[in-house]
Amino acid sequence: MIFDVDFATILFQMAPSPEGFKRKIVFLDSVDSTSLYAASLRDADEGTVVLADEQKSGRGRLGRSWVSEKGKNLTFSLILKPGSPAEYSGLISLLAGLAVAETLETVAGLVPECKWPNDVLLKGKKVCGILTEATITGGRLSRAILGVGLNVNQARFPGAIQPPPTSLLNESGRSFDLTAVLTAVLTTVERRYSDFRDRKYETIIREWKKRSTTIGKTLNVRTGESEIQGFARGIAPDGALLLEVDGSERKIFAADITVV
Protein backbone atom coordinates (compact mmCIF):
# COMPACT_ATOMS: atom_id res chain seq x y z
CA MET A 1 0.00 0.00 0.00
CA ILE A 2 1.15 3.50 -0.77
CA PHE A 3 0.53 4.99 2.65
CA ASP A 4 1.55 3.73 6.09
CA VAL A 5 -2.06 3.90 7.18
CA ASP A 6 -5.12 2.01 6.15
CA PHE A 7 -7.76 3.39 3.86
CA ALA A 8 -10.09 4.51 6.66
CA THR A 9 -7.25 6.50 8.17
CA ILE A 10 -6.59 8.21 4.85
CA LEU A 11 -10.20 9.37 4.78
CA PHE A 12 -10.00 10.43 8.39
CA GLN A 13 -6.79 12.40 7.85
CA MET A 14 -8.07 14.14 4.79
CA ALA A 15 -9.52 17.46 5.86
CA PRO A 16 -13.02 18.25 4.55
CA SER A 17 -13.05 20.22 1.32
CA PRO A 18 -13.37 23.96 1.96
CA GLU A 19 -15.22 24.14 -1.38
CA GLY A 20 -17.75 21.51 -0.30
CA PHE A 21 -16.56 18.66 -2.53
CA LYS A 22 -17.48 15.16 -1.39
CA ARG A 23 -13.87 13.91 -1.65
CA LYS A 24 -14.82 10.27 -2.00
CA ILE A 25 -11.48 8.49 -2.43
CA VAL A 26 -11.31 5.20 -4.31
CA PHE A 27 -7.94 3.75 -3.40
CA LEU A 28 -6.51 0.95 -5.55
CA ASP A 29 -3.34 -0.94 -4.87
CA SER A 30 -2.77 -1.50 -8.59
CA VAL A 31 -4.73 -0.54 -11.69
CA ASP A 32 -4.08 -0.11 -15.42
CA SER A 33 -4.84 3.61 -15.28
CA THR A 34 -6.69 5.65 -12.67
CA SER A 35 -8.22 7.71 -15.47
CA LEU A 36 -9.60 4.63 -17.24
CA TYR A 37 -10.97 3.37 -13.93
CA ALA A 38 -12.52 6.76 -13.14
CA ALA A 39 -14.15 6.85 -16.59
CA SER A 40 -15.75 3.47 -15.86
CA LEU A 41 -17.48 4.85 -12.73
CA ARG A 42 -20.53 6.05 -14.63
CA ASP A 43 -22.56 7.36 -11.68
CA ALA A 44 -19.71 8.72 -9.57
CA ASP A 45 -20.24 12.05 -7.84
CA GLU A 46 -18.24 15.08 -8.82
CA GLY A 47 -15.18 15.22 -6.56
CA THR A 48 -14.60 11.46 -6.58
CA VAL A 49 -10.88 10.69 -6.68
CA VAL A 50 -9.39 7.43 -7.96
CA LEU A 51 -5.95 7.05 -6.39
CA ALA A 52 -3.53 4.21 -7.10
CA ASP A 53 -0.35 2.98 -5.56
CA GLU A 54 0.68 1.63 -8.96
CA GLN A 55 -0.47 2.04 -12.54
CA LYS A 56 0.36 -0.76 -14.98
CA SER A 57 -0.46 1.35 -18.06
CA GLY A 58 -0.44 4.97 -16.95
CA ARG A 59 -1.52 7.22 -19.80
CA GLY A 60 0.15 10.45 -20.84
CA ARG A 61 -0.79 13.10 -23.37
CA LEU A 62 -0.64 12.44 -27.11
CA GLY A 63 -0.64 8.66 -26.70
CA ARG A 64 2.43 8.53 -24.48
CA SER A 65 2.71 6.51 -21.28
CA TRP A 66 3.19 7.71 -17.72
CA VAL A 67 5.61 5.68 -15.63
CA SER A 68 5.75 6.12 -11.87
CA GLU A 69 7.54 4.02 -9.26
CA LYS A 70 5.12 2.11 -7.03
CA GLY A 71 4.39 3.78 -3.70
CA LYS A 72 6.58 6.83 -4.27
CA ASN A 73 4.37 9.33 -6.06
CA LEU A 74 0.81 10.54 -6.48
CA THR A 75 -1.13 9.16 -9.43
CA PHE A 76 -4.80 10.00 -9.26
CA SER A 77 -7.80 11.05 -11.32
CA LEU A 78 -10.45 13.50 -10.18
CA ILE A 79 -13.95 13.36 -11.64
CA LEU A 80 -15.41 16.76 -12.51
CA LYS A 81 -18.85 17.52 -13.92
CA PRO A 82 -18.71 21.20 -14.85
CA GLY A 83 -21.59 21.48 -17.33
CA SER A 84 -19.84 24.61 -18.65
CA PRO A 85 -19.81 25.66 -22.32
CA ALA A 86 -17.59 23.23 -24.24
CA GLU A 87 -15.35 25.99 -25.60
CA TYR A 88 -13.80 26.52 -22.16
CA SER A 89 -12.73 22.88 -21.76
CA GLY A 90 -9.07 23.72 -22.36
CA LEU A 91 -9.02 25.75 -19.15
CA ILE A 92 -9.42 22.63 -17.00
CA SER A 93 -5.81 21.53 -17.69
CA LEU A 94 -4.59 25.06 -17.16
CA LEU A 95 -6.33 25.45 -13.80
CA ALA A 96 -5.01 22.08 -12.68
CA GLY A 97 -1.42 22.96 -13.61
CA LEU A 98 -1.82 26.30 -11.86
CA ALA A 99 -3.22 24.62 -8.74
CA VAL A 100 -0.39 22.08 -8.59
CA ALA A 101 2.17 24.87 -9.01
CA GLU A 102 0.55 26.91 -6.22
CA THR A 103 0.54 23.83 -3.99
CA LEU A 104 4.24 23.15 -4.55
CA GLU A 105 5.02 26.75 -3.63
CA THR A 106 3.25 26.39 -0.30
CA VAL A 107 4.05 22.81 0.72
CA ALA A 108 7.62 22.63 -0.55
CA GLY A 109 8.74 26.26 -0.86
CA LEU A 110 9.72 25.59 -4.48
CA VAL A 111 9.37 27.84 -7.53
CA PRO A 112 7.30 25.86 -10.06
CA GLU A 113 6.72 26.93 -13.63
CA CYS A 114 3.75 26.13 -15.85
CA LYS A 115 4.42 24.90 -19.36
CA TRP A 116 1.48 25.10 -21.76
CA PRO A 117 -0.81 23.28 -21.75
CA ASN A 118 -0.43 21.25 -18.60
CA ASP A 119 3.06 20.46 -17.36
CA VAL A 120 4.53 21.71 -14.11
CA LEU A 121 8.28 22.12 -14.12
CA LEU A 122 10.93 22.68 -11.47
CA LYS A 123 14.15 24.20 -12.84
CA GLY A 124 13.16 23.06 -16.33
CA LYS A 125 12.45 19.48 -15.26
CA LYS A 126 8.98 17.96 -15.25
CA VAL A 127 7.56 17.22 -11.81
CA CYS A 128 3.90 16.86 -12.79
CA GLY A 129 1.95 15.83 -15.85
CA ILE A 130 -1.78 16.36 -16.29
CA LEU A 131 -4.11 14.59 -18.67
CA THR A 132 -7.65 15.91 -19.02
CA GLU A 133 -10.15 13.70 -20.81
CA ALA A 134 -13.33 15.57 -21.63
CA THR A 135 -16.82 14.39 -22.48
CA ILE A 136 -18.87 16.92 -24.39
CA THR A 137 -22.66 16.50 -24.42
CA GLY A 138 -24.94 18.96 -26.21
CA GLY A 139 -22.25 21.63 -26.42
CA ARG A 140 -21.45 21.37 -22.72
CA LEU A 141 -18.51 19.88 -20.84
CA SER A 142 -20.53 17.22 -19.06
CA ARG A 143 -17.55 15.41 -17.53
CA ALA A 144 -13.81 15.85 -17.25
CA ILE A 145 -11.48 13.20 -15.88
CA LEU A 146 -8.53 15.14 -14.53
CA GLY A 147 -5.55 12.77 -14.32
CA VAL A 148 -2.59 13.98 -12.28
CA GLY A 149 0.83 12.36 -12.02
CA LEU A 150 2.95 14.18 -9.44
CA ASN A 151 6.44 12.90 -8.73
CA VAL A 152 6.97 13.19 -4.99
CA ASN A 153 9.45 10.77 -3.42
CA GLN A 154 10.99 9.05 -6.46
CA ALA A 155 14.76 9.55 -6.66
CA ARG A 156 15.75 7.96 -9.97
CA PHE A 157 14.16 8.28 -13.39
CA PRO A 158 15.61 5.83 -15.91
CA GLY A 159 15.48 6.53 -19.64
CA ALA A 160 15.92 9.63 -21.78
CA ILE A 161 12.68 11.56 -21.44
CA GLN A 162 12.12 15.17 -22.53
CA PRO A 163 11.69 17.33 -20.55
CA PRO A 164 13.73 15.35 -18.00
CA PRO A 165 11.62 14.22 -15.03
CA THR A 166 12.21 15.22 -11.44
CA SER A 167 10.49 14.94 -8.07
CA LEU A 168 9.87 17.03 -4.97
CA LEU A 169 12.49 14.88 -3.24
CA ASN A 170 15.13 15.62 -5.86
CA GLU A 171 14.47 19.35 -5.90
CA SER A 172 14.07 19.93 -2.17
CA GLY A 173 16.29 17.23 -0.65
CA ARG A 174 13.51 15.90 1.58
CA SER A 175 10.70 13.40 1.33
CA PHE A 176 7.03 14.22 1.71
CA ASP A 177 3.96 12.64 3.27
CA LEU A 178 1.81 11.60 0.32
CA THR A 179 -1.48 12.10 2.14
CA ALA A 180 -0.54 15.65 3.09
CA VAL A 181 0.51 16.49 -0.48
CA LEU A 182 -2.67 14.92 -1.90
CA THR A 183 -4.86 16.90 0.51
CA ALA A 184 -3.06 20.13 -0.38
CA VAL A 185 -3.29 19.50 -4.13
CA LEU A 186 -7.00 18.61 -3.95
CA THR A 187 -7.76 21.72 -1.88
CA THR A 188 -6.04 23.98 -4.41
CA VAL A 189 -7.51 22.24 -7.46
CA GLU A 190 -10.98 22.50 -5.91
CA ARG A 191 -10.44 26.23 -5.22
CA ARG A 192 -9.34 26.95 -8.79
CA TYR A 193 -12.16 24.78 -10.11
CA SER A 194 -14.59 26.91 -8.10
CA ASP A 195 -13.11 29.93 -9.92
CA PHE A 196 -13.82 28.09 -13.17
CA ARG A 197 -17.41 27.38 -12.18
CA ASP A 198 -17.78 31.04 -11.21
CA ARG A 199 -16.55 31.89 -14.74
CA LYS A 200 -13.44 33.61 -13.43
CA TYR A 201 -11.62 32.49 -16.56
CA GLU A 202 -9.43 35.61 -16.69
CA THR A 203 -8.24 35.06 -13.12
CA ILE A 204 -7.14 31.52 -13.95
CA ILE A 205 -5.29 32.65 -17.09
CA ARG A 206 -3.68 35.63 -15.32
CA GLU A 207 -2.38 33.48 -12.43
CA TRP A 208 -1.23 30.76 -14.82
CA LYS A 209 0.65 33.31 -16.95
CA LYS A 210 2.53 34.59 -13.89
CA ARG A 211 4.14 31.16 -13.67
CA SER A 212 4.41 30.47 -17.37
CA THR A 213 7.61 29.35 -19.09
CA THR A 214 5.82 29.55 -22.43
CA ILE A 215 4.45 33.07 -23.01
CA GLY A 216 6.83 35.58 -24.62
CA LYS A 217 9.08 32.85 -25.99
CA THR A 218 9.79 31.52 -29.46
CA LEU A 219 8.51 27.97 -29.63
CA ASN A 220 8.71 24.88 -31.76
CA VAL A 221 5.15 23.60 -31.88
CA ARG A 222 4.49 20.05 -33.01
CA THR A 223 0.92 19.06 -33.84
CA GLY A 224 0.63 15.56 -35.25
CA GLU A 225 3.02 15.28 -38.17
CA SER A 226 3.71 18.98 -38.69
CA GLU A 227 6.05 21.30 -36.82
CA ILE A 228 5.96 25.09 -36.90
CA GLN A 229 7.92 27.80 -35.18
CA GLY A 230 6.25 30.85 -33.71
CA PHE A 231 6.17 33.40 -30.93
CA ALA A 232 3.88 32.71 -27.98
CA ARG A 233 1.79 35.90 -27.65
CA GLY A 234 -0.60 34.73 -24.97
CA ILE A 235 -3.46 32.50 -23.94
CA ALA A 236 -6.94 32.83 -25.46
CA PRO A 237 -9.96 33.01 -23.12
CA ASP A 238 -10.59 29.32 -23.84
CA GLY A 239 -7.06 28.23 -22.84
CA ALA A 240 -5.65 27.87 -26.37
CA LEU A 241 -2.12 29.06 -27.09
CA LEU A 242 -1.94 32.21 -29.24
CA LEU A 243 1.01 31.77 -31.54
CA GLU A 244 2.30 34.40 -33.94
CA VAL A 245 3.55 32.76 -37.12
CA ASP A 246 4.86 34.92 -40.01
CA GLY A 247 2.96 37.96 -38.77
CA SER A 248 -0.42 36.27 -38.29
CA GLU A 249 -1.93 34.80 -35.16
CA ARG A 250 -2.85 31.13 -34.86
CA LYS A 251 -4.77 29.37 -32.13
CA ILE A 252 -3.19 26.12 -30.98
CA PHE A 253 -5.45 23.77 -29.05
CA ALA A 254 -3.21 20.73 -28.56
CA ALA A 255 0.49 20.35 -29.26
CA ASP A 256 3.89 19.46 -27.96
CA ILE A 257 5.98 22.55 -27.47
CA THR A 258 9.65 23.27 -26.86
CA VAL A 259 11.24 26.64 -26.25
CA VAL A 260 13.74 27.48 -29.00
Residues 6+ apart with CB under 8 A from 211: 98, 101, 112, 113, 114
Nearest distance from C-beta of residue 139 to ligand BTN, angstroms: 26
Residue number with CB closer to ligand BTN (163 or 200): 163
Among 2, 23, 26, 34, binds ligand BTN (CB under 6 A): 34
The SS3 assignment for 144 reads strand
Choose, by CB under 6 A, the member of 95, 114, 131, 144 that binds ligand BTN: 131
Query: Rounded to whole angstroms, how far apart are CA atoms 52 and 77?
Result: 9
Measured from the CB atom, the residue of 55 and 154 that comes closer to ligand BTN is 55
Looking at residues 138 to 177 of the shown chain, list those that interact with ligand BTN (rule: CB under 6 A): 147-149
Q: Which residue is nearest to ligand BTN (CB)?
A: 129
Could you give the C-alpha distances from 251 to 1, 89, 206, 233, 241, in angstroms and in order? 44, 15, 18, 10, 6
Using alpha carbons, select from 255, 100, 108, 97 the residue that is nearest to residue 187: 100
Q: How far apart are CA 235 and CA 74, in angstroms?
A: 28
Binding flag, residue 72, ligand BTN (CB under 6 A): no
If the CB atoms of residues 109 and 158 are measured against ligand BTN, the closer one turns out to be 158
Q: Which is it for the CA torsion 122, 111, 96, 233, positive or negative?
A: negative
- Distance of closest approach, residue 172 Cβ to ligand BTN, in angstroms: 21
Amino acid at residue number 2: I
For ligand BTN, the closer of residues 39 and 219 by Cβ is 39
Q: Which is nearer to ligand BTN, 115 or 192 (CB)?
A: 115
Nearer to ligand BTN, 63 or 109 (CB): 63
Report helix angle 91-108 to 201-210, nearest 10: 50
Can you tell me which of 78, 95, 98, 130 binds ligand BTN, judged by CB under 6 A?
Answer: 130
Least CB distance to ligand BTN at residue 64 (A): 5
Residues whose CB falls within 8 Å of the CB of residue 86, separated by 6 or more in sequence, listed in order: 134, 136, 139, 140, 141
SS3 label, residue 167:
coil
Residues that contact ligand BTN, how many (by CB under 6 A): 20
CA atoms within 13 A on the CB side of 217: 15
Choice from 44, 47, 55, 115 touching ligand BTN (CB under 6 A): 55
Q: Please tell me whether residue 31 binds ligand BTN under the rule CB under 6 A.
A: no
**Is there binding between residue 75 and ligand BTN (CB under 6 A)?**
yes
* Nearest-approach distance from CB 76 to ligand BTN, in angstroms: 6
Residue 64 binds ligand BTN, judged by CB under 6 A: yes
User: What is residue 165's DSSP assignment?
Assistant: B
User: Can you give the binding site for ligand BTN, defined by CB under 6 A?
Assistant: 33-35, 55, 58-61, 64, 66, 75-77, 119, 129-131, 147-149
